[in-house]
Amino acid sequence: MCLGIPGKIVRLWDDQGTRMADVDFGGAVKDVCLAYLPEAGLGHYTIVHAGFGLTLLDEESAVETLAMFRELGMLEDELGIPSASGAVPA
Amino acid sequence: MKYLDEFADPVLAGRLIEQIKARATRQWTLMEVCGGQTHSIIRNGIDILLRGAVEFIHGPGCPVCVTPLEMIDRSLEIAARPEVIFCSFGDMLRVPGSGRDLFQVKAAGGDVRVVYSPLDAVRIAAENPGREVVFFGVGFETTAPANAMAVVAARQRGLRNFSMLVSHVRVPPAITAVMESPRCRVEGFLAAGHVCTVMGTDEYGPLVERFGVPIVVTGFEPLDLLEGVRQTVELLEAGTPALRNAYPRAVSAAGNPAAQHVLADVFEVCDRKWRGIGDIPASGWRLADAWADLDASRRFAVDDLVVEESPDCRAGDVLQGHLKPSQCPAFGTLCTPRTPLGATMVSSEGACAAYYAFRRLEVPASA
Ligand code: SF4
């Protein structure tokens, strides 16, 4: 649960004074809080953990990292996409 | 070599492996602190490819694994109450408490919900004013800022039905505990990259000085890990322990000041018990006094629970690097991901789970 997943900021919005964004993780789009990244803008890549952007990074590293996490099956945990009823490695 | 072909860039990986092997005059013992790194190492066979040059010891860097049993039992007590909606990250649900886990509480009718962000729990509290909404706040420095902000948001919105069961842990005191153990064999550390996105690398300098070990901040991808190992071996061979950042594209020396600021406001450092390891001074965060009204363990009076660990589980030894998971007598027999005895078999970042998932049953000769 401790990994951060990189994604691309595709929309910015405001939730009662808190800066929020839609972030695209290679297809899955999630709300992300940008309170800790005042410098983040549209099109930037950020490492997201527990729904918060924590740091910016460049596109190339973001895409590479995302591909690896997908391959490792780590996206499910981090993005909260529910797994099939408590699925565990067989 | 079977493993090498599986790297995203096998040529570069091969070159790094060659460099590490050429430089190592003996086998060095490195600890990767983070469970995500453990998985990447085992999954990609990096431990096998580097055998002879490096032995990996798997560190305590999995928040799900180290959350103390008392805290799990508190979560179960609270989650079982009819007035409570209990929110948690998904991987806490199968962590065994003394008798059951959160999934079982849910199956028995408890309202346990998996959220992806603590802000989801705040939203649920706003939507359910007649219920008590409790969020299970676990995690290292990476997760703590999100949870801190949820507490701030709940208060800003005037929610009286939101509280948090806080069990945060901090990495530098864990490194200190590992180094101070009389059985410590660790000669260098690969520090967890994402923890450092928040705290920066500055906290690690004093540890390098105090213990004379190199610490290299490292990412999670196989090539990042190999580069981290290369730099660590370089420092060890040169006999010049130092702090290096091998993950500069995500980590800076100062970290994220906005996140640190909120952390310092909402949390205060406390001693914390680590599951399987015991008390580590100054290794945790709890809500600071000004936020105590949002502390679920006080609100639900579950502070004094006394608990017992499974006597068959050796997770404490695994988490401190004294034992490889496959050396635990229960591994793969009494203890599997479906019938876990310890949290290290449950968590997707746990070392026992990594060994199980990737069928790593053999024991390296040197361990
Ligand atoms: S294999 Fe199971 S019983 Fe053994 S240390 Fe790991 S979690 Fe505990």
Domain locations in chain A?
6-78
Question: The dihedral of CA B147, B149, B150, B154: what is its sign?
Answer: positive
**Per-residue pLDDT at B170 exceeds 90:** yes
Distance from Cα A72 to the centre of ligand 1, integer Å:
22
What pLDDT was estimated at residue B142? Answer: 92
CB A75 within 8 Å of CB A28: yes
Distance from Cα B252 to the centre of ligand 1, integer Å:
36
* Phi, psi angle pair for B228, to nearest 5°: -60, -45
Q: Say yes or no for a CB contact (<8 Å) between B35 and A2.
A: yes
**What domains are there in chain B, each with its CATH number?**
64-170+255-300 (3.40.50.11740)
Higher per-residue confidence, B165 vs B357? B165
Average pLDDT, chain B: 90
**Residue B325 binned pLDDT confidence (cut-offs 50, 70, 90):** very high
Topology of the domain covering A6-78? SH3 type barrels. (2.30.30)
Q: pLDDT by residue (tens digit) across B12-66?
A: 889 999 999 999 999 999 999 988 899 889 988 999 999 999 999 998 888 888 8
What pLDDT was estimated at residue B105? Answer: 95
User: Rounded mean pLDDT of B125-142?
Assistant: 96
User: Rounded mean pLDDT of B140-152?
Assistant: 95
CB B191 within 8 Å of CB B224: no
Higher per-residue confidence, B349 vs B263? B263
Residues with CB under 6 A from ligand 1: B 312-315, 318, 325, 328, 330-331, 335, 340-342, 344-345, 352
User: Rounded mean pLDDT of B156-161?
Assistant: 95
**Residue A76 binned pLDDT confidence (cut-offs 50, 70, 90):** low
**Residue A84 binned pLDDT confidence (cut-offs 50, 70, 90):** very low
Can you tell me the distance from the alpha carbon of B315 to that of B342, in angstroms, rounded to the nearest whole number? 6
* Phi, psi angle pair for B33, to nearest 5°: -75, -30
Widest distance between CA atoms in chain A = 45
Say which range, A40-44, A61-65, B156-160, B279-283, has the weakest mean pLDDT: A61-65
What pLDDT was estimated at residue A87? Answer: 36
Closest by Cβ to B115, choosing from A16, A54, A80: A80
Among protein residues, the one whose CA lies closest to atom 2 of ligand 1: B335
Q: pLDDT by residue (tens digit) across B195-235?
A: 888 999 999 999 999 999 999 999 888 888 999 999 999 99
Q: Which residues of A touch B353 (CB under 8 A)?
A: 89
**Location of structure tokens 């099956």:** A73
CB B270 within 8 Å of CB B284: yes
User: Rounded mean pLDDT of B99-127?
Assistant: 94
What pLDDT was estimated at residue A2? Answer: 62
What pLDDT was estimated at residue B11? Answer: 86
**Per-residue pLDDT at B362 exceeds 60:** no
